[in-house]
Homo-oligomer: A and B are copies of this chain.
């Protein structure tokens, strides 16, 4: 019962509080901030949200989210079409792309195999990946699933399905995160980092 503000503001707070990272209190603070910047922030945000909600597409090629399909990555002629980096989720694609070191294409699986959650191969976009891998131009598939049990299982499964395609299948390197302190790392990471040690 928020009798201090109207029912519309109330509904707005309730909707905004559903965003990850916001709760009822921070949603209220956000609303007050928005109302203070009504012209410069609130109205443009409302318009862009409506526009994007209207225009958003799942890219038919790679599964990225964009206002057009094929997406920006798939349309970019400067990107190397011979490498495809396979990720679980659009968030992973965006994260990898933020580093700006990878200049190939992507493929979003849309999740990982999980016996627990009942996610089977046919729930993931593996067929699309196989089709793309069979294309003449594709030389390498980088598997960039999360380093979880389900991520590894999925990588293993995808590797098996790719046998027969004339592509090199690689995976992200394991090791000490840059800036990471050894004391805080788990044994698995330390073992991987030791095993994969390199001459300086």
Give residues in A with beta carbon < 8 Å to B.
Answer: 1-6, 8-9, 11-12, 15-16, 18-22, 26, 28-30, 32-35, 37-38, 41-53, 55-56, 64-68, 71-73, 76, 89-91, 93-94, 97-98, 100, 106
Contact = CB atoms under 8 A, between A and B. Distances in A.
Contact of A94 (B4, B19, B26, B34): B4
B21 A26 contact: yes
* Total identical chains: 2
A64 B4 contact: yes
Contacts of A1: 100
Contact of A72 (B5, B18, B32, B76): B5
25 contacts: A2-B98, A3-B73, A4-B71, A4-B94, A5-B64, A6-B71, A8-B51, A8-B55, A9-B56, A15-B44, A15-B48, A19-B30, A19-B34, A20-B26, A20-B33, A21-B29, A28-B91, A28-B94, A32-B91, A34-B53, A35-B53, A43-B49, A46-B49, A46-B53, A47-B50
A53 to B, nearest CB: 4
For the residues of A in contact with B, the DSSP-based class is: helix
Given A9-B65, A56-B35, A65-B9, A18 B41 contact: yes
B33 A19 contact: yes
A166 to B, nearest CB: 27
